[in-house]
Amino acid sequence: MSERNVGPASPESGPFWEATRERRLVLQWCTACEEPIQYPRSFCPRCQASGSSLEWRDASGLGVVYAIVVEHKPEAMGEESPYAVALVDLEEGVRLMTNIVGPDALSATISTGVRVTWEPLEDGRNLPLFEVSAAKQV
Ligand SMILES: [Zn+2]
C-alpha cells in the first residue's frame, strides 16, 4: 500500500481518480480546442468552454522525462526501491509531476522513455507513477 501523499479529490479531478480504480490514466480534453487540459478544471483555460465541451479520454500512459531529481532517502526509512521525482511529458502533450519508480528509476534521465505504472491506495484507487520503458527516446 502506498504511503505517498495523495491530495483529496476535487470535483474537477474526480473522474481522473475514479478511472484509476480500473488503472486507466485519463486526461481532460476540450473538444473545442482538441487539446488536453492539465490540471482538470471546470472550463478550458484557452477558450473558456465548459460543460459538454469538456470530456475525459484515455491517455496512452507513455511519455518522456522532461526533468528529474533523484531522491535519496535516509537508511532509517527502510528498503523502499529507489525513486526519482520527475516532470514527465505525456504523448498527449501534458506535463505531469510524478515519481519514477522501479529497478531502472535511477538510470532515468532527460528524454528517457517512461510508461505509467500503478501503486494501490487503501481506498481502491491507484496512484499513477512511471517506470522506465524499454526504448530510450532521443
Ligand atoms: Zn478549449
pLDDT in tens, 55-86: 999 999 999 999 999 877 666 555 565 679 99
| Domain residue ranges in the chain | 8-58, 61-138
- pTM, two decimals, is 0.83
Centroid of ligand 1 to alpha carbon of 100 (angstroms): 30
The single residue listed with the C-alpha cell 522513455 is 113
Q: Tell me, in angstroms, the distance from the centre of ligand 1 to residue 44's CA.
A: 5
In the chain, % of residues over pLDDT 90: 70
- Are 100 and 81 in contact, with CB atoms under 8 Å apart? no
How far is residue 42 from each of residues 39, 71, 92, 95, 125, measured CA to CA in Å?
Answer: 10, 34, 20, 19, 22
Helix (H) or strand (E) segment spanning residue 16: helix 14-20
136 alpha carbon – ligand 1 mean position (Å)? 33
pLDDT at residue number 93? 94
pLDDT at 18: 95
Backbone angles phi, psi at 75, to 5 degrees: -60, -30
Computed on alpha carbons and rounded to an integer, the radius of gyration of the chain in Å comes to 16
Residue 98 alpha carbon to ligand 1 centre in Å? 25
**Amino acid at position 118, single letter:** W
- Output the pLDDT for position 137: 47
- Give the model confidence (pLDDT) of 100-126 as tens digits: 998 888 899 999 999 999 999 999 999
Secondary-structure breakdown of the chain: helix, strand, coil percentages, each rounded to the nearest 5: 10, 40, 50
As a whole number of angstroms, the distance between CA 57 and CA 59 comes to: 6
Long-range contacts of the stretch 69-76 (C-beta < 8 A, 24+): 70/106
The average pLDDT across 32-53 equals 94
**Band of residue 39 on the pLDDT scale cut at 50, 70, 90:** confident
What's the 58 CA to ligand 1 centre distance in angstroms?
A: 18
Residue 15 has pLDDT above 70, yes or no: yes
Cell reading at 115:
510508461
Decide if pLDDT at 91 tops 90: yes
Residue 3 confidence (pLDDT) above 80:
no
Architecture of domain 61-138: Beta Barrel (2.40)
